[in-house]
Structure 1
């Protein structure tokens, strides 16, 4: 598919039945696990990373077709503090994505499921990343920036 998109807006939502976990086990049974921000409303925290990733891509994506991007979060499974401090793991991010023409709302790319995985180093390796300023939030937002761009070019 030939794409020449100009990013206009992002609509972010979540499936209505997603379960958020604050459990500190190695692998909580939940749809949303996030520890990269202080304890609080996890969905808005995640939404802000998607918005930042979208905004970062705007200056470089100035194609012929203005688009509105719809993202519906299906799963956002980062690592708990226990996992990050010991064995590490994988950030698993799954969402449904629809691309619409910003001029008339017509669907350019029908909804498709997208899955991205990012290594989540644990133990000393994970601590070194944090000491270098590469916190979970920084790493995941950087990953989402590149990942969204890959899905749209």
Structure 2
């Protein structure tokens, strides 16, 4: 009888040890630090539609930092909304054409909310910031339904001034060229990166431009 009890006790002890072992191993196992891979849908952009609302205020004042949503001087005086629309259309097309077509057909809708380049006074003295901001939305070409919510894109970047601006212009690197090239790169990052385009910090000048955007939009 004593022998049977001893055997039973030994079996219970071994069973308990076997049940507790996985828990201890799990508790002591290193954490899995492998970053999760976030996939980005690959879009086949079949059409690009740019809108520049007439509600955006145009400023023709030649000051260092005029108010308004649209400040643009490199084209002749005229319909600034139409001129900004043409620049965005050219830039978006350049950016999309440079990308490999994806699998998801889409229409790219762009609504400009701010296009603040430099005035003559700022261009040939202190320089500043090209404040370029827009909303982006992707749609199904067949149904017109949106793929998700509109995305706000802040594409501000440093604008040349003084001798740097003059030197750049002598090489054909005008404001229009730099803005178009920059926006083309921005839309590529926005479409191809999980986090979209992230504007660089532009210090105090960038903060002032953002404040101006908040006050006018």
Name the TM-score class by shorter chain.
over 0.9
2:103 is aligned with 1:64: yes
Equivalent residue for 1:140? 179
Equivalent residue for 1:108, pick from 147, 152, 157: 147
Tell me, yes or no, if the aligned pair for 1:18 and 1:31 is still in contact at 8 Å: yes
The normalised TM-score by structure 1 is 0.94
> Which runs of 5 or more structure 1 residues have no equivalent in the other structure?
none
Identify the residue that residue 123 of structure 2 maps to in structure 1.
84
Structure of larger gyration radius: 2
**1:4 pairs with one of 42, 59, 63:** 42
Taking structure 2 as the reference length, what is the TM-score of the superposition?
0.67
Q: Deviation per CA, 1:18-42: give whole Å up to 9, x if none.
A: 1101110000110100112122111
Name whichever structure is richer in strand by fraction.
1
State the alpha-carbon separation in 1 of the partners of residues 189 and 180 from structure 2: 14
Q: Displacement of 1:130 after TM fit?
A: 0.3
Question: Could you tell me whether the CA contact under 8 Å between 1:5 and 1:61 is conserved in 2?
Answer: no
User: Aligned equivalents of 1:139 and 1:59: distance in 2?
Assistant: 17
- 1:23 equivalent in structure 2: 61
What count of residue pairs does the alignment treat as equivalent?
A: 153
Shift of 1:59: 4.9
Higher RCO (CA 8 Å, separation ≥ 6 residues): 1
| 4+ aligned runs moved over 3 Å, structure 1 | none
